[in-house]
Amino acid sequence: NSYRIASIPGDGIGLEVVSATIQVIEKLAKTLGTFNINFEHIPWGTAYYKQTGRYVSEDYLDTLRRYDAILFGAVGSPDVPDHISLWGLLLALRGPLQLYANVRPVRTFPGTKCPLNTARNGIDWILVRENSEGEYAGQGGRSHIGQQWEAATEVALFTRVGIERIMRFAFETARSRPRKFLTVVTKSNSMRNGMVLWDEIAGLVAKDFPDVSWDKMLVDAMTVRMVMKPESLDTIVGTNLHMDILSDLAAALAGSIGVAPSSNLDPTRKSPSIFEPVHGSAFDITGKGVANPVATFWSAAEMLIWIGEKDAAAQLMGCVERVCAKGILTRDLGGSSDTQGVVDAVCLEIEKL
Amino acid sequence: NSYRIASIPGDGIGLEVVSATIQVIEKLAKTLGTFNINFEHIPWGTAYYKQTGRYVSEDYLDTLRRYDAILFGAVGSPDVPDHISLWGLLLALRGPLQLYANVRPVRTFPGTKCPLNTARNGIDWILVRENSEGEYAGQGGRSHIGQQWEAATEVALFTRVGIERIMRFAFETARSRPRKFLTVVTKSNSMRNGMVLWDEIAGLVAKDFPDVSWDKMLVDAMTVRMVMKPESLDTIVGTNLHMDILSDLAAALAGSIGVAPSSNLDPTRKSPSIFEPVHGSAFDITGKGVANPVATFWSAAEMLIWIGEKDAAAQLMGCVERVCAKGILTRDLGGSSDTQGVVDAVCLEIEKL
Ligand SMILES: CC(C)[C@H](C(=O)O)[C@@H](O)C(=O)O
Ligand SMILES: CC(C)[C@H](C(=O)O)[C@@H](O)C(=O)O
């Protein structure tokens, strides 16, 4: 039970929330005494880029394959165009490592206020995002740059393999939950190729899961259902872009993007999976010590589950929820604590275990 | 002041809401006596398709060019794949007629309940959707159909002309409103071609509108802002797909998709513009006489503004709002009225003008 974790804090508040999380996880490991965990710092990000011209080292995929998992902070800096920084680091990992399942649990969390008055019993969803192709396949181009007749394309690429594997993963996720219910999101009324293929494959894969009930939604109508009938949903699957959008919406509807975690999984376990908060580098609050570390705590808990430490993950989440329920919260949630204050409170809870 | 309007009820509840609206507009014209309006019925839709193999007549574009405007109901039928019906009718009009500006006003409306507790002073937005290209350019395909290595693409095509004209239209729309504030939505961190071009052109066009302030949002983060800080927004512009999604979300956040109108405009006025409710054909309630006609009333009011009858439009909206405020509402809004009940109540208000 000894794990090697690569920690890539990246940019902005990534450094603060990852360092906060390492403190908490090390405390947890020491207190429980049931597993060992070692974090090794990898300095990739915008500072590294400014020194070397690259966001990652040349042998970065091999480097990462030596680890059991990766804890990631954020990437993005005001002085580099976002499409350079994102494709330089985060998107250079998700696709090439074939981390095809991005999993985003969303639920009303102690200390956050749900902005909806339609969710009487709270929200409890799992969003499964295809994470290796689709709108993020990186295809497309620009021609006649600067001319009046300039034309540019963004090409979303979908493969049968890519769709089928995420669909199986989503049905399995739905099956593992009490309601056993999956909603498949597409936009096959206006998009007649890849989106129709999604619909077809959903129908085929569903046959292997007779115990899971499912339905289909168009991505636009899905936003209405999330707002108006949040309790009618449970597990949700969709394309890379659609779920990028819907997962931010989901986090907001549940009360805060500041607690939303995300797992980038290779379900075949050939590559190490990446665990990261959904929020970004947030340069407006960087360096002030006020970043909300809860999304990264939760991401680390998902990491513990993935590497096999389910009980430790449950203990951690219990401690975090108790701290939040007591109102020990950062400012984004209306509290008055700073990052270290939340870390200390969680460590204190861990000591009581 | 005499107008010829093509009415295309289409499918499902389209027939009910368009017939309801024609009654109301004819009553309005008769009562005010300031303009003449003639609706000519065009039977395109799924029934027509089943008889002729086409959703529209062969010379459909020429046919439509004879009218001052088009009042559209809905298209889509459970027994025809949506991508066939939509591209057969609605999408066969928007692009080919170069109705490049889809305008969707969204505001909290009498009789609807806002599901958000973050919008103290209500919602009042104008969403401007690029309506002729982007993700709806109709490009892409499928290869190796049925093989394990099948691959499909959806190609979003953006042109400098297409982006620039919608951007100018959006800045002009923003300028016409008290707050003079525009938010430009893109996804230029993950999409490096057409989306970066959007950002560039936004910056260029903005220079011609020094009196309009503006900012940029990524489409995912935009959903969070719409939920958390609805009052920070006013006019919003984005791509065909992004605004398809955000306009449904906006209507839900304001209280109901059942009142949301939509204008498909050719700002050059070479083609007749199309006015249609945002809701679809809703086959589950078709033929029951319970469809909510308010979105189509509001769409017709937008049509009256467009053809030059601004006062009549204001009178109409006043009547509709008074009826809704009295609680004369269809079931989707929690009322007990049927479609004709709402029509009769609005006509009664019109008589009082
Ligand atoms: C930072 C950005 C590229 C990323 C994405 O769009 O995937 C983020 O929004 C996310 O959801 O993880
Ligand atoms: C019916 C469908 C093709 C259409 C769209 O996606 O544009 C609808 O959702 C809309 O928003 O007008």
DSSP line for A22-34: HHHHHHHHHHH-S
Instruction: Give the mutation candidate from B149, B186, B191, B196 for the A interface (greatest A CB count, under 10 A).
Output: B191
Q: With left for phi above 0 and alpha for psi between -120 and 50, is residue A322 left, alpha or beta?
A: alpha
In which element (H, E) is residue A52 found?
helix A46-52
Based on C-alpha coordinates, what's the Rg of chain B?
A: 20
Residue A131 to residues A69, A94, A220, B60, B276: CA-CA distances in angstroms? Answer: 17, 7, 20, 42, 36
pLDDT band at residue B327 using 50, 70 and 90 as cut-offs: very high
Percentage of chain B exceeding pLDDT 70? 100
SS3 category, B234: coil
> In terms of CA atoms, which chain A residue is nearest residue B244?
A220
d(CA B83, CA A191): 7
The answer, yes or no, to whether residue B121 has pLDDT greater than 90, is: no
Residue B49 to residues A51, B56, B77, B120, B287: CA-CA distances in angstroms? Answer: 63, 8, 11, 47, 20
> In terms of CA atoms, which chain A residue is nearest residue B218?
A245
pLDDT band at residue B285 using 50, 70 and 90 as cut-offs: very high
Question: Probe ligand 2: pick from A186, A189, A219, A223, max atoms within 8 Å of CB?
Answer: A189
| Any atom of ligand 2 within 6 Å of the Cβ of A148 | no
Helix, strand and coil in chain A, % to nearest 5: 40, 25, 35
Q: Pick the closest to residue B173 from B114, B130, B141 (CA basis).
A: B130
CB contact under 8 A, B135 and A191: yes
Residue nearest to atom 11 of ligand 1 (CA): A244
Give the number of residues written for chain B. Answer: 353
Q: Each residue of B31-66: pLDDT tens digit?
A: 999 999 999 999 999 999 999 999 999 999 999 999
pLDDT band at residue A119 using 50, 70 and 90 as cut-offs: confident
For residues A264-282, give the mean pLDDT. 97
d(CA A330, CA A316): 18
pLDDT, mean over chain A? 97
Ligand in nearest proximity to the CA of B191: 1
CB contact under 8 A, B151 and A142: no
**Nearest chain A Cα distance for residue B82, angstroms:** 5
- Do the beta carbons of residue A161 and residue A134 sit within 8 Å? no
**Hey, which residues does A337 pair with through a beta bridge?**
A330
Q: How would you class B176 by CB atoms within 10 Å of its CB: exposed for 0-12, middle for 13-18, buried for 19 or more?
A: exposed
Residue A41, token pair as written in the block: 């710092």
CA B2 to chain centre: 24
SS3 category, A95: coil
Q: With left for phi above 0 and alpha for psi between -120 and 50, is residue B147 left, alpha or beta?
A: beta
**A 269-298 residues inside an 8 A Cβ radius of B:** none
- Do the beta carbons of residue B104 and residue B127 sit within 8 Å? yes
B253 CB neighbours in chain A (<8 A) are 227
Q: How many helices (H) and strands (E) does chain B have?
A: 12, 12
The answer, yes or no, to whether residue A223 has pLDDT greater than 90, is: yes
| Any atom of ligand 2 within 6 Å of the Cβ of A192 | no
Give the number of residues written for chain A. Answer: 353
Percentage of chain B exceeding pLDDT 90? 97
Q: Pick the closest to residue A134 from A224, A244, A214, A216 (CA basis).
A: A244
Q: Pick the closest to residue B341 from A124, B267, B326, B352 (CA basis).
A: B326
Structure confidence at residue A211 (pLDDT) = 98
The answer, yes or no, to whether residue B240 has pLDDT greater than 90, is: yes
For residues A200-211, give the mean pLDDT. 98
The set of protein residues with a Cβ atom below 6 angstroms from ligand 1 is A 86, 90, 244, 278, 280; B 189-190, 220
In which element (H, E) is residue A137 found?
strand A134-143
Structure confidence at residue A73 (pLDDT) = 98
Say yes or no: A116 contacts chain B, CB-CB below 8 A. Answer: yes
B151-159, strands of its sheet edge to edge: A134-143, A151-159, B151-159, B134-143
**Hey, which residues does A238 pair with through a beta bridge?**
A129
Structure confidence at residue B201 (pLDDT) = 98
DSSP line for A210-238: TTSEEEEEEHHHHHHHHHH-GGG--EEEE
pLDDT, mean over chain B? 97
- Provide CB contacts within 8 A for B290, sequence distance 6+: B330, B331, B338, B339
Q: Pick the closest to residue A222 from A204, A207, A239, A202 (CA basis).
A: A239
For residues B73-83, give the mean pLDDT. 96
For tokens 């394990």, name the residue. Answer: B148
Structure confidence at residue B244 (pLDDT) = 98
Q: Each residue of A292-344: pLDDT tens digit?
A: 999 999 999 999 999 999 999 999 999 999 999 999 999 999 999 999 999 99
d(CA B86, CA B319): 33
Which ranges of chain B would DSSP assign to H, the alpha helix?
14-32, 46-52, 60-65, 82-88, 90-94, 160-175, 194-206, 219-228, 240-254, 294-307, 310-325, 339-351
d(CA B194, CA B178): 31
d(CA B169, CA B184): 12
Structure confidence at residue A336 (pLDDT) = 97
Say yes or no: B187 contacts chain A, CB-CB below 8 A. Answer: yes
Structure confidence at residue B89 (pLDDT) = 97
Structure confidence at residue B120 (pLDDT) = 84
Based on C-alpha coordinates, what's the Rg of chain A?
A: 20
Torsion of CA B267, B269, B272, B278, to 10 degrees: 10
For residues B328-340, give the mean pLDDT. 97
Residue A301, token pair as written in the block: 């808990």
Facing residue for A227 by CB, picked from B117, B221, B253? B253
Structure confidence at residue A174 (pLDDT) = 98
- Do the beta carbons of residue B86 and residue A220 sit within 8 Å? no
d(CA B125, CA B230): 9
| Any atom of ligand 2 within 6 Å of the Cβ of B130 | no
CB count within 10 Å of CB A23 equals 16
Q: Each residue of B144-182: pLDDT tens digit?
A: 999 999 999 999 999 999 999 999 999 999 999 999 999
- Do the beta carbons of residue B102 and residue B131 sit within 8 Å? yes
Distance from residue B224's CA to the centre of ligand 1 (Å): 14
pLDDT band at residue A25 using 50, 70 and 90 as cut-offs: very high
Structure confidence at residue A147 (pLDDT) = 97
**Nearest chain B Cα distance for residue A245, angstroms:** 4
CB count within 10 Å of CB B352 equals 8
> Structure pTM?
0.97
Structure confidence at residue A212 (pLDDT) = 98
Q: Each residue of B180-214: pLDDT tens digit?
A: 999 999 999 999 999 999 999 999 999 999 999 99
- Do the beta carbons of residue A241 and residue A78 sit within 8 Å? no
The answer, yes or no, to whether residue B253 has pLDDT greater than 90, is: yes
